[in-house]
Amino acid sequence: MTETDKSLLVVHNLSVAFGTKDNPFKAVDRVSFHVEEGEVLGIVGESGSGKSVSSLALMGLIDFPGRVTADELRFKTTDLQTLNEKARRKITGDEISMIFQDPMTSLNPSYTVGNQIMEAIEVHQGGSKKERLAKAIDLLRQVGIPAPESRINNYPHQLSGGMSQRVMIAMAIACDPKLLIADEPTTALDVTIQAQIIELLLKLQREKQMGLMLITHDLALVAEAADRVVVMYAGQIVESGPASEIFKAPKHPYTQALMNSLPESSEGKDRLNALPGVVPGANDRPNGCLLNPRCPYATDRCRVEEPGQLGPRGRQVKCFYPLDESGRPTYE
């Protein structure tokens, strides 16, 4: 699926740079993607891939010394870059919401859960205290918290990790957002709770027909939940396309490596498959393709020239020699 004028979110060449002007560190490097109404976009990558930073840039949460630039940053028909601060704030938390990785530290410890949810409603929708309270209790019920009438007066430290994340979700959907960004929503939670939270997110997404950006390092999760997927490495998008296609036949060596490192692919072997080396940091970005020091298929061309996005719109790879169906690079 390609982006259209009806797309919910369109991002073109988004970059986020830190450091000095002459020696910038590009945490996000010319990243482009789009989200459609009611669809789930998965953004996959290791830590350091720039996936979280991209979403923060969308929300306008990147501060000095980070610098955000983009050719286009469009939400529905609104150009986010031309909005003044007040107008931006109006959309934030209302039409675009975000939930974060660690729910235990993402809630203000000095106020009750109910107070914080009601605040979101108050700022964007208004209403009397009674109305907001009723709505807040209803939201807690929607996210599956038992006995919401009493929970509403709890302080965050009185809740478990899973509960806290549910509260965060309740706060995020309070104003019926069109787009929900979930940045590693389950990484900090127990394994048993993780599935519950994802289920909840997907259920809400279906019911409300929200666009959902699911950011995670967990491939298996994305395989199940996402409609389309974008794979990031060291601040760049290396592959994008429908989830089913990407997982059946990954075209980028990095995606292939990610798939191979899933425990399932190592069944019968002594060790987990892993790519040698580590993600480049600020001071050791290689020339040419960023993956080349670690890529088993790298050629001289890869070490010197940076590949562009190859392939049809909707199924692109940033590689000179995309893998074919049997997983081998197409050197010719």
Partner 1 sequence: MLQFFIRRLGMVIPTFIGVSLFTFALIHLIPGDPITIMGGERGFSEDKRAELEAMLGLDKPIWQQYFVYLGNILQGDLGTSYVTSQPVLSEFMTLFPATVELTVCAAIFAVITGLTLGILAAIKRGGLLDHTVMTISLTGYSMPIFWWALLLILLFSVNLGWTPVSGRLDVMFWVDEVTGFMLIDTLLSDEDGAFLSALSHLVLPAIVLGTIPMAVIARMTRSSMLEVLGEDYIRTARAKGLSKRRIIVKHALRNALIPVITVMGLQVGLLLSGAILTETIFAWPGIGKWLVESIGRRDYPVVQGGLLLIATIIIMVNLLVDLMYGVVNPRVRHSK
Partner 2 sequence: MTMTSETQTTVRMPQTPLAEFWSYFIQNRGALIGLCFIVFIVLLAVFADFVAPHHPHEQFRDFILVPPAWTEGGNIQFWLGTDGVGRDILSRLIHGARLSLLIGLVIVTVSLVLGICLGLLAGFTGGFVDVAIMRFADILLSMPALLLAIAIVAILGPSIVNSGLALSLVYLPHYIRLTRASVLTEINKDYVISSRVAGAGALRLMFIVILPNCLAPLIVQATLGFSNAILDMAALGFLGLGAQPPLPEWGSMLATAREFIQSAWWVVTFPGLIILMTVLAFNLMGDGLRDALDPKLKQ
Tell me which long-range contacts 221-228 makes (C-beta under 8 A, separation of at least 24): 221/42, 221/186, 222/42, 222/44, 223/247, 225/40, 225/42, 225/198, 225/201, 226/40, 226/41, 226/42, 227/39, 227/40, 227/41, 228/1, 228/39, 228/40, 228/41, 228/42
Task: Tell me: does residue 160 bind partner 1 (CB under 8 A).
Answer: no
User: Binds 255, which of partner 2, partner 1, none (CB < 5 to 8 A, cut-off by type)?
Assistant: none
Q: Please report the DSSP string for 75-89 in residue order.
A: ETTEEGGG--HHHHH
Q: Residue 286 Cβ, how far from partner 2 at the closest point, in Å?
A: 4
Q: Which of 109, 126, 268, 312 binds partner 1 (CB under 8 A)?
A: 109
**Residue 170 binds partner 1, judged by CB under 8 A:** no
Examine residue 111 and tell whether it contacts partner 1 (CB under 8 A).
yes
330 binds partner 1 (CB under 8 A): no
Do 140 and 146 contact (CB within 8 A), yes or no?
Answer: no
Q: Tell me how far, at minimum, the Cβ of 5 lies from partner 1, in Å.
A: 26
Least Å from the CB of residue 65 to partner 2: 15
Give 155's DSSP letter: -
Question: Can you tell me which of 52, 97, 165, 292 binds partner 1, judged by CB under 8 A?
Answer: 97
208 lines the binding site for partner 1 (CB under 8 A): no
Nearer to partner 1, 123 or 279 (CB): 123
Q: State yes or no: residue 90 binds partner 1 (CB under 8 A).
A: yes
Please state, in angstroms and rounded to a whole number, the distance separating the CA atoms of residues 120 and 236: 34
92 binds, options partner 1, partner 2, none, Cβ within 5 to 8 A by partner type: partner 1
**CA angle (79 as vertex; 77, 85 as ends), nearest 5:** 125
Among residues 227, 313, 228, 222, the alpha carbon closest in space to that of 259 is found at 222
The two structure tokens encoding residue 231: 């794979």
The residue among 1 and 123 lying less far from partner 1, judged by its C-beta, is 123
Site string for partner 1, 120-139 (x = CB under 8 A): x--xx---------------
Q: 171 or 226, CB closer to partner 1?
A: 171
DSSP state of 72: E
| The residue type at 248 | K
What are the structure tokens assigned to 274, written together? 């892993």
Pairing of strands 179-183, 96-99: parallel
Tell which one of 45, 48, 50, 93 touches partner 1 (CB under 8 A).
93
Nearest to 30 by CA among 52, 49, 11: 11
Stretch that binds partner 1, among 130-138, 152-160, 226-234, 319-327 (CB under 8 A): 152-160
Cα–Cα distance measured from residue 67 to residue 50, given in angstroms and rounded to the nearest whole number = 14
Contacts (CB under 8 A) with partner 2, residues 259-298: 283-287, 292-293, 298
- 91 scored as a contact of partner 1 (CB under 8 A): yes
- The residue ranges that bind partner 2 (CB under 8 A) are 283-287, 292-293, 298-300, 303
Chain residues binding partner 1 by CB under 8 A are 59, 61, 89-94, 97-98, 100, 102, 105-111, 119-120, 123-124, 155, 157-158, 168, 171
